[in-house]
Amino acid sequence: MDSASMRTEVPRPSRSPAHTPVDTVALLFLLAVAAVSLLTFKDYGLGWDDFTHSQYGNLLLKYYSSDFTNQRVFSFVNLYYYGGGFDMIAAGIAKLLPVDVFNVRRLLGAAFGLAGLAIVWRTGRRLSGPWGGLAAMVLLAICPLYYGHMFMNAKDAPFAVAMAALLYCLVRALDEYPSPTPRTVAWFGLSLGLAIGTRVLGVFASTYCFAAAAFLLASESRSLGFKSAALRLARFTVLLAIGLPFAYFVLGVVWPWAVVEPLNPIRALEYYSHFWEVPWREMFDGRPVLVPDMPRTYVPVLFGIQMPELFLACVVGGIAGAVVQAFYGTQPANKRARFILLVAAATVPVLITVAMRPVMYNGIRHFVFVTPAMALLGGAALVWLFRLLANAPLVARGAAAALVLVGFGMPMKEFASLHPYQYTYYNHLVGGVRGADSQFMLDYWGLAFKQAAGQLDEYVDLHRMSLPQGRKFKVAVCGPHNAAAQELGPRFETTYETKDADFALMLGEFYCANVPAPVIGKVEREGVTYAKVYDVRGRSFPSVFARGQ
């Protein structure tokens, strides 16, 4: 193909497969998840970051409502290094409606999470047909890292949704290669702006694009010659680049600090490349480890024990199958490049952490954004599996289908028993949450304080006549104090001090003390204690923290 023919090539919109009964099942599944989310979003407690993020959203609104003159948002703790689109929307809704801002944040998180599921479904349909889309969506829904965080993580979960949208746009653009349509370019600009504007780590997408582009250039050079292949890639790159100004505009809306000075995104990357807080310890592999000293195996190990077994098997099979499809498949190079894109999206961030060993903490919540790509590869793997079994005996096909259904059903059952602490899920390789309790962190965000505070409230109501009158009850807390204060309400005051405390509210993590006092409330899941409430009146204990913490 010569350059003249390429200049006259007209962009043609790519088409997803026509609607099928499988898509109806997918829509029903999405509606079911939406119904469960609507019924349960209030069950999720507050964590360490909720208060600061809600304040950040208010400051962003003040910045815009003051015609950019109120710039307190640019010096508010360290949150201006992140985008605040989610926080701003939640704050705006809370101002417009007579609804508690934290309930708004939980419901909005669920809405974002559902949007991510829908995006993965649509992307999977493009990659592997209706069955692939359905499988990818269900795999993402049974991923505890995604489902557990979508209700209460204002940074990592929206970022995962934005990255899922960006992957969809890139897959769509590759379908239209080398001439993405204006609509695709516009969607690309929007999703790129949202991704980087939510977390600067959205720049990881450049590595995915580079991997796919290198594959395309090498593949097409063999059939078209290097010059023609390079011209096609250049055309594709230039057309996508038309969306960059729109991306920058969107980035500026959700992360205004990033555009106050052009180099601010680079400053954010530099800032987060160094640890900025006093180091603390977290439990990993049975011992407390300072977070800057976590081993290189931290992320791979936690992925291996915190993902459901079916999810893991499908991801591994999907990566292997994607490599085979890319290098030995019969589809055009642009179609095969989509699998290189997904393999890079699923593996590059993990490989970078293994190689560079940055500070790692709070489990793998910072890696929620790789789960959509993993789910897409897993969905493709299931489609390939059943294609391979198409001519197998009925018994073999039935056994495979039953195994897959059990693999989907087991984490759903465990999600129900862990609710609303799905993010603490561990698989059977480590013995579930019971096996992980003494080895790894569970409720590191302190969500159990919501239920524990309710138990303390009930205890006070039942024993009101025997309790001190005319003052607030003093509660010694090991865990997120702002969350505890919000959940407890106005008749309690929280403190780190143990002297003269009436009650103690303690997370079940290793760094909280076991208090020698009557236990009046306990939050448990599958035999594991997530939080305890003590009546400590008339008793002394040295600290809310365990010895040595």
- Average pLDDT, integer, range 110-127: 98
Residues 202, 259: one domain? yes
Q: Tell me the per-residue pLDDT of 163-207, one tens digit each, with 9 for 90 and over.
A: 999 999 999 999 999 999 999 999 999 999 999 999 999 999 999
- Average pLDDT, integer, range 240-267: 97
> How large a percentage of the chain has pLDDT more than 90?
91
Residue 244 lies in a domain: yes
Residue 387 lies in a domain: yes
Q: How far is CA 376 from the centre of its chain?
A: 15
Q: Tell me the per-residue pLDDT of 432-477, one tens digit each, with 9 for 90 and over.
A: 999 999 999 999 999 999 999 999 999 999 998 888 888 999 999 9
Residues 453, 367: one domain? no
pLDDT of 464 reads: 86
What gap in Å lies between CA 537 and CA 528, rounded to an integer?
26
pLDDT over 70 at 3, yes or no: no
Count of beta carbons in the 10 Å neighbourhood of residue 395 = 8
Looking up tokens 């992957």 gives 167
Residue 314 lies in a domain: yes
- For residues 89 and 358, the model is more confident at 89
pLDDT over 80 at 1, yes or no: no
What gap in Å lies between CA 242 and CA 228, rounded to an integer?
22
Residues 404, 459: one domain? no
Instruction: Output phi, psi for 309, to 5 deg.
Output: -60, -40
Residues 409, 453: one domain? no
Residues 231, 343: one domain? yes
- For residues 276 and 266, the model is more confident at 266
- Average pLDDT, integer, range 50-66: 96
Q: Using CB atoms within 10 Å of the CB of residue 224, give its burial: 0 to 12 exposed, 13 to 18 middle, 19+ buried.
A: middle
Average pLDDT, the chain: 95
Total domain count, the chain = 2
Residue 485 lies in a domain: yes
pLDDT over 90 at 214, yes or no: yes
Residues 205, 249: one domain? yes
pLDDT of 4 reads: 41
- Output Rg (C-alpha) for the chain, integer angstroms: 25
Three-state DSSP at 421 gives coil
pLDDT over 70 at 275, yes or no: no
* Long-range pairs of 13-17 with CB within 8 A, sequence gap ≥ 24: 13/176, 13/181, 13/183, 13/184, 14/126, 14/172, 14/175, 14/176, 14/181, 14/184, 16/122, 16/125, 16/126, 17/125, 17/129, 17/130
Residues 175, 225: one domain? yes
Domain boundary, last residue among 366, 397, 418: 418
Residues 384, 246: one domain? yes
Residue 441 lies in a domain: no
Residue pair 283/99 in contact (Cβ under 8 Å)? The answer is no
Q: Using CB atoms within 10 Å of the CB of residue 292, give its burial: 0 to 12 exposed, 13 to 18 middle, 19+ buried.
A: middle
In sequence order, what E strands does 400-527 have? 473-478, 492-495, 503-507, 519-525
pLDDT of 6 reads: 42
Instruction: Output phi, psi for 534, to 5 deg.
Output: -115, 145
Q: Which two tokens stand for residue 529?
A: 């204690």
Residues 165, 39: one domain? yes
Residue 127 lies in a domain: yes
Residues 252, 322: one domain? yes
Specify the pTM: 0.95
pLDDT over 90 at 331, yes or no: yes
- Average pLDDT, integer, range 47-69: 95
Residue pair 496/507 in contact (Cβ under 8 Å)? The answer is no
Residue pair 440/450 in contact (Cβ under 8 Å)? The answer is no
Residues 314, 204: one domain? yes
pLDDT of 342 reads: 99
Residue pair 506/512 in contact (Cβ under 8 Å)? The answer is yes
Residue 222 lies in a domain: yes
Domain with 473, as residue range(s), is 449-535
Q: Tell me the per-residue pLDDT of 9-19, one tens digit each, with 9 for 90 and over.
A: 555 566 677 88
User: Residue 279 — very low, low, confident or very high, per pLDDT cuts 50/70/90?
Assistant: confident
Contact partners, residue 111, CB within 8 Å, separation at least 6: none
Residues 336, 484: one domain? no
Residue 432 lies in a domain: no
Count of beta carbons in the 10 Å neighbourhood of residue 350 = 16
| Range of weakest confidence among 5-19, 77-91, 419-433 | 5-19
Q: Tell me the per-residue pLDDT of 139-156, one tens digit each, with 9 for 90 and over.
A: 999 999 999 999 999 999
